[in-house]
Amino acid sequence: MQSVNASNNDRFIAYGEQLLSRFAVLERIGSGGYGQIYRGEDSSKGLHVAVKVEEAFTENSTHDPRRMVVEHKVLREVRGKPHFPVIYAAGKSEKGCAFIVMELLGENLTAVRKAVPNQRFSVSTLFRIAQQIVLALEALHNLNYIHRDIKPTNCCIGRTGEARKRVYLIDFGFCRKFRNSKGDFKASRQDAGFRGTVRYASERTLLRSEAGPADDLISWMYAVVEMGTDELPWTREEEMTAVLKKKREIKNADLCRELPRKMASCVDHLRSLKYDDKGETKFLGRAAADGDPRYLESGVQEEAQREPSAGFGQGRGSLNSL
């Protein structure tokens, strides 16, 4: 990630500040969903880390302080799972800003995509990315959380070595438990509000209906289509109502016309799901595997010969071998 110019008088945190007598804040490298992201260094291990910082909450604040709390909780619960950044610590800075220290990752998938020819992934790379995001969602849903903001910029590759062949899911501030203490789906609220990003949101959530696991998977599907075709049919629309209209009107075959036909079966499946359907992640993972050009008829084969993006190397566990 590239650094962002900022003075040493950053209103979130002071550069050089030592967090928990262990993590030194070095520079601001970007913005998250509700705060700033900094590069830091773990003095105990000599490793670079990411520090996500939320503005201190006051009576005049417009952000929801619960998002940082939720993100912290989710990161603790997914710790050790392969498609999530490792959390190292959490606390408050000298300026009273809540922070989370976590594994420093590489570029998000939109940045990676824009660096490849025609700004779209080859079919081979696309379906390996799709598989990995499905695995991350399956793990999250098995913990009874929905993400509610699945999109390419919330998926990153690792920073170095073998980790650059892996996709990581990030930004858990919108997560919500979809099951109650008895293990049943929570009752659907009449007006659940809207959380997420309009471009990738399901039609159901754009109508402020309750989001469930299926809605995460619909967002996944829209993200996959965009990464394989450069843009979605409603990318240039600015109004939510216009986006919703196009999503409702487009035929599944037209949405996936530039992708292997197996993708249309994913769309058919996902659009048939209700709020309280968990979604068949194994079906989607298999569909992604079947979308691999090595298993498709000739005519799509040559797409696999395109050079994959930098960092997506060969070898077991890579995007090119899953």
Q: Confirm if 248 and 203 have CB atoms less than 8 A apart.
A: yes
3-state secondary structure string across the chain: CCCCCCCCCCCCCCCCCEECCCEEEEEEEEECCCEEEEEEEECCCCEEEEEEEECCCCCCCCCCCHHHHHHHHHHHHCCCCCCCCCEEEEEECCCCCEEEEEECCCCEHHHHHCCCHHHCCCHHHHHHHHHHHHHHHHHHHHCCEECCCCCHHHEEECCCHHHHHCEEECCCCCCEECECCCCCECCCCCCCCCCCCCCCCCHHHHCCCCCCHHHHHHHHHHHHHHHHHCCCCCCCCCCHHHHHHHHHHCCHHHHCCCCCCHHHHHHHHHHCCCCCCCCCHHHHHHHHHHCCHHHCCCCCHHHHHCCCCCCCCCCCCCCCCC
Q: Is 52 annotated as a binding residue?
A: yes
* Phi, psi angles (nearest 5°) of residue 123: -60, -40
Strand 167-169 versus strand 98-103 pairing type? unpaired
The C-alpha atoms of residue 194 and residue 219 are separated, in whole angstroms, by 14
Q: Select which of 149, 171, 215, 216 is catalytic.
A: 149
In our burial notation (b when 16+ CB lie closer than 10 A, e otherwise), range 270-284 reads: beebebbebbbbeeb
The residue to which tokens 């402020």 are assigned? 208
Please confirm, yes or no, whether 292 is among the known catalytic residues: no
Q: Which residues are annotated as a binding site for ATP?
A: 52
Q: Which residues are annotated as a binding site?
A: 52
Residues recognised as catalytic: 149
